[in-house]
Amino acid sequence: MIIQETGEIGNGFYVVGFAGVPVYLLDGPVPVLFDAGLTGGAFLYEAGIKQVLGERVPEYLFLTHSHFDHVGSASHFKDVWPDLKVGGSERCSEVLQKPKAVQLMQDFNFEGIKVIKDSGLEPINEKSFESFKLDILVQPDQTIKLAPGLSVEVLNTPGHTWDFMSYWIPEKKILVASEAVATYEANGYLQPEFLVDFDAYIESLKVLRKIGVKILCPGHYAVFTDEDAVAHIENSFQAAMDYLIMTEKFLVQEKGDVEKAVELVKRTEWDPRPWPKQPESAYLLNTWTRVNTIWKRMNRNKFGEHLT
């Protein structure tokens, strides 16, 4: 099943806020949040969490990576639930303390307000993104025991970013993979999410395909269950290869001009998509990074020698 709405997915697991940029909630003896969405959606996330938990409070927030649309409401959550323990990778912690990175998150989170408004959702948090410190530095292959018979395993899955961690709940076969897998866009297009390294992204997908997932939670728009969860991981491989072939063709055509190749990619995949979709400025930054990553890979593998 492909689920594109908020609410309970099953097994005490919820999508809260709005499906385009979700926060995931695992209910139980120790309630856990995964990712913190956009700053503008803080009130929506808070209301969704309280609707499930009532007077109870989340004890952990685990972050997959340091991008603006996955850490945006973390400071708000800490204000609402002061004892909330926020976990992420060491690299994630480092990014959150870099002034230029924080400024970029503030700029993109401001643009994210448009995404929420276009979705017709309210109330909207108009405050700027605020950085924060992690309480827990999670480690690859670490297991966090939540309660007897319930745990969260940390999986190192770089490729989208270098600070990326996925979270596996083995007892419930739930995988919070975010952009370690492709994003299922509004019209069904699969957006490959490698940014820093194509081959690392493929290797991370190989790790995820082995674990026997029943509920798969990407970063945006949709949650996959059962056969569709398995299929989405496999389809993410194909989407990545298709993107690689397309981009290499454009780079050869434009003789290695990354800017021109980015424009061709945008015309091919972003322009025809209906809203809601990623804000254009964030899309262009990510696409430039993807295209440049492929160009470096081509040169590293000596595929680009004939372009000079």
Q: In this structure, is residue 275 part of a structural domain? A: no
Q: How many CA atoms lie within 13 A of 194 on its CB side?
A: 27
Q: In this structure, is residue 55 part of a structural domain? A: yes
Q: Supply the mean pLDDT for the chain.
A: 94
Residue 119: the pLDDT is 81
Q: In this structure, is residue 35 part of a structural domain? A: yes
* Structural domain total, the chain: 1
For the residues 226-250, what does the mean pLDDT come to?
97
Q: In this structure, is residue 220 part of a structural domain? A: yes
Q: In this structure, is residue 294 part of a structural domain? A: no
Whether residue 277 has pLDDT greater than 80 = no
| CATH code, domain with 38 | 3.60.15.10
Q: Which domain holds residue 122?
A: 2-240
Q: In this structure, is residue 267 part of a structural domain? A: no
For the residues 250-271, what does the mean pLDDT come to?
96
For the residues 227-242, what does the mean pLDDT come to?
97
Q: In this structure, is residue 306 part of a structural domain? A: no
Length of the chain: 308
Whether residue 48 has pLDDT greater than 70 = yes
Q: In this structure, is residue 209 part of a structural domain? A: yes
Q: How far apart are the C-alpha atoms of 286 and 279, rounded to whole Å? A: 11
